Amino acid sequence: MGAGVMKQADGGGGRRARRRGRRSMPMSEINVTPFVDVMLVLLIIFMVAAPLSVVGVPVQTPETAASALPTPQEEPLTITLNAEGGVFIQETEVDRAELVTRLRGIAAERDSDQIFLRADGVNAWNEVAQIMGALNAAGFNNIGLVTDIGGPTLDGQDG
């Protein structure tokens, strides 16, 4: 990859030098150009792939002054209520009649009872409260509401 052979500087001459027993010395320099090329390609791949790792159901969450929750030990379970009223477990759409049954099955396999609820800001509070009741009935008592940061603090200062 980066090592080559270089001729001795004292007495050049190709064939004659080899016949007399003199050998070429190994070159001790490393060519870093292929290494840099590979690193730049990897950088571009990760820059393109990073934005795609966000949860795939698009919702416009409301902005609040709440701080972020600590990171859980296992992958967080997310329920999403989109603007059209569709309910999603992670990225899979679920019928509302099947929601509690599916969540009970998931709860039996998980160590944590923490779940995150993402609801579009256009949804009525009644719909969000019904989903929260279904989460509680399925055994998830630790419900975190997902919002965007930077909303009003309700103390007269926007933050």
pLDDT value for 69: 62
What is the pTM (predicted TM-score) of this model?
A: 0.53
Q: Residue 28: what pLDDT?
A: 78
Domain 77-147 has CATH 3.30.420.270: yes
Query: 10-14, 25-29, 84-88, 120-124: lowest mean pLDDT where?
Result: 10-14
The lowest-confidence range among 89-93, 111-115, 151-155 is 151-155
Alpha carbon 85 to chain centroid distance?
26
pLDDT tier for residue 63 given thresholds of 50, 70 and 90: confident
pLDDT of 65 reads 73
Residue 107, exposed/middle/buried by CB under 10 A (0-12, 13-18, 19+)?
A: middle
Mean pLDDT of the chain: 78
pLDDT reading at 39 higher than 90: yes
pLDDT of residue 124 exceeding 60, the answer is yes
pLDDT of residue 37: 92
Nearest in space to 10 (alpha carbons), one of 55, 43, 20:
20
As to burial, measured by CB atoms within 10 angstroms (0-12 exposed, 13-18 middle, 19+ buried), residue 58 is exposed
